[in-house]
């Protein structure tokens, strides 16, 4: 049996391991230019987490319930703790392997993939100010806008070859499409930056750019020389994105303003 006087030692050890885990999670990113040191820190962190799990089971083994043979009762009472500890260990190892695989050969270049972006968004689910639905919409809108741009290019090529499309109108519509792409890239960038960094100015710029982007989508939906059914569907979806994002951007700006005010 574990003596009562030893519990303080075990508890202090667990707090020390927890502090190290928190330290690595907070500051290991600063060492991305030194991948060897970062790898060593990650290995020690995973070993410390595993050691914490082992201590947890050792504590179970030293209970009267375990020694009485009521193992199922013990595990039933603490299954949440066991599952959470095992899941955290597995996720930590997976994340460390993934990050080191991405950055080991490119330590001097900052790497930020879509997967890391998604993890960053979910990590901020508990934040009070940033809007997770807005960030998800902006992320999806970015991919949709790229697809929309490519499809519209093929549509213009199709209409220019098969339909009596006035050359001046065709050139104007194609130029507007490239202008739309530039506005959309800037709009999504500032929207995501303002939302994640909780800054009103970038988010306000994104909101302002939503209006010309929506006007261009309305033009392609209603006013261009030839509107195909595919274009009508694509632009309707695009306007739905814009309407939802404008609403969320306004609500997020109000939240930022109210917090900064008080």
| Structure confidence at residue 178 as a pLDDT band (50, 70, 90) | very high
| 203: its two tokens | 């988010």
Measured CA to CA, the distance from residue 37 to residue 55 in angstroms comes to 27
For Cα atoms 16, 17, 19, give the angle at the middle one, nearest 5 degrees. Answer: 65
- Give the model's confidence band at 154: pLDDT under 50 very low, under 70 low, under 90 confident, else very high: very high
Decide if 96 contacts 31 (C-beta within 8 A). Answer: no
- From its phi and psi, is residue 42 left (phi > 0), alpha (psi between -120 and 50) or beta? alpha
Residue that finishes a domain, picked among 125, 154, 182: 125
pLDDT above 80 (res 49): yes
DSSP secondary-structure letter at 156? H
Which one of 125, 160, 184 terminates a domain?
125
Q: Comparing 23 with 140, which gets the higher pLDDT?
A: 140
Residues 86 and 175 occupy one common structural domain = no
36 and 108 in one domain?
yes
> Structure tokens of 170?
């065709």
Query: Does the pLDDT of residue 53 top 90, yes or no?
Result: no
Same domain, residue pair 170 and 215: yes
One domain, residues 69 and 178? no
Residue 57 clears pLDDT 60, i.e. is over it: yes
Q: What is the dihedral of CA 116, 121, 127, 129, to 10 degrees?
A: 130
13 and 111 together in one domain? yes
pLDDT at 5 over 70: no
pLDDT category of residue 129 using cuts at 50, 70 and 90 = low
111 and 185 share one domain? no
- The answer on pLDDT for 261 being more than 80 is no
Lowest mean pLDDT among 11-20, 35-44, 104-113: 104-113
Question: Residue 229 has which token pair?
Answer: 């059914």
- The set of residues, in sequence order, having a beta carbon less than 8 Å from that of 45 and lying 6+ positions away, is 20, 21, 24, 92, 96
pLDDT band (50, 70, 90) for residue 246: very high
Average pLDDT, the chain: 82
Residue 101 CA to residue 133 CA, distance in Å, equals 30
Answer with the one of 80, 101, 125 that is the final residue of a domain: 125
For residue 27, the enclosing domain spans 4-125
**Structure tokens, 254:** 């109000």
Question: H-helix or E-strand containing 46?
Answer: helix 35-61
pLDDT computed for residue 4 by the predictor: 53
Specify whether 152 is located in the same domain as 232: yes
Out of 48-62, 161-175, 194-208, which region has the weakest mean confidence (pLDDT)? 48-62
Average pLDDT score over residue span 139-145: 91
- The reply to whether 199 and 243 lie within a common domain is yes
Say if pTM beats, i.e. exceeds, 0.85.
Answer: no
Q: For residue 128, give every residue at least 6 positions away whose Cβ sits within 8 Å of its Cβ, in sequence order, or none.
A: 259
Confidence bin at 125 (pLDDT 50/70/90): low
CA distances to 51, 92, 237 from 33, rounded to whole Å, are 28, 20, 42
* Phi, then psi, of 64 in degrees rounded to 5: -65, -30
- Ranked by mean pLDDT, the top range of 7-16, 77-86, 180-189, 224-233 is 180-189
Say yes or no to pLDDT of 240 above 70: yes
Same structural domain for residues 79 and 163? Answer: no
Domain count, the chain: 2
Cα–Cα distance between 236 and 131 in angstroms, integer?
Answer: 24
Is residue 10 within 8 A of residue 52, CB to CB? The reply is: no
Distance CA 189, CA 202 (A): 9
Same domain, 182 and 248: yes
147 and 254 fall within a common domain: yes
Distance CA 211, CA 216 (A): 9
The pair phi, psi for residue 250, each rounded to 5°, is -65, -45
Residue with tokens 């998604």: 118
């Amino acid at each position: 049996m574990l003596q009562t006087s030893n519990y303080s030692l075990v508890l202090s050890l667990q707090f020390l391991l927890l502090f190290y885990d928190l330290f690595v999670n907070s500051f290991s990113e600063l060492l991305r230019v030194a991948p060897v040191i970062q790898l060593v820190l990650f290995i020690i962190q995973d070993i410390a987490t595993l050691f914490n799990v082992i201590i947890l089971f050792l504590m179970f083994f030293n209970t009267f319930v375990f020694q009485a043979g009521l193992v199922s009762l013990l595990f039933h009472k603490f299954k949440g703790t066991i599952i959470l500890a095992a899941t955290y260990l597995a996720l930590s190892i997976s994340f460390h392997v993934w990050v080191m695989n991405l950055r080991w050969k490119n330590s001097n270049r900052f790497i930020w993939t879509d997967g890391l972006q998604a993890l960053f968004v979910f990590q901020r689910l508990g934040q009070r100010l940033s809007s997770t639905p807005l960030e998800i919409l902006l992320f999806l809108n970015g991919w949709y806008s790229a697809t929309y741009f490519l499809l519209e290019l093929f549509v213009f090529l199709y209409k220019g070859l098969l339909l009596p499309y006035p050359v001046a109108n065709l050139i104007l519509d194609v130029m507007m499409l490239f202008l739309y792409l530039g506005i959309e890239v800037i709009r999504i960038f500032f929207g995501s930056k303002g939302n994640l960094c909780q800054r009103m100015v970038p988010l306000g710029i994104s909101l302002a750019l939503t209006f010309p982007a929506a006007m261009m989508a309305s033009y392609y939906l209603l006013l261009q020389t030839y509107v195909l059914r595919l274009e009508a569907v694509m632009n309707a979806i695009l306007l739905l994105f814009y309407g939802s994002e404008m609403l969320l951007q306004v609500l997020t700006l109000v939240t930022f303003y109210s917090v900064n005010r008080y």
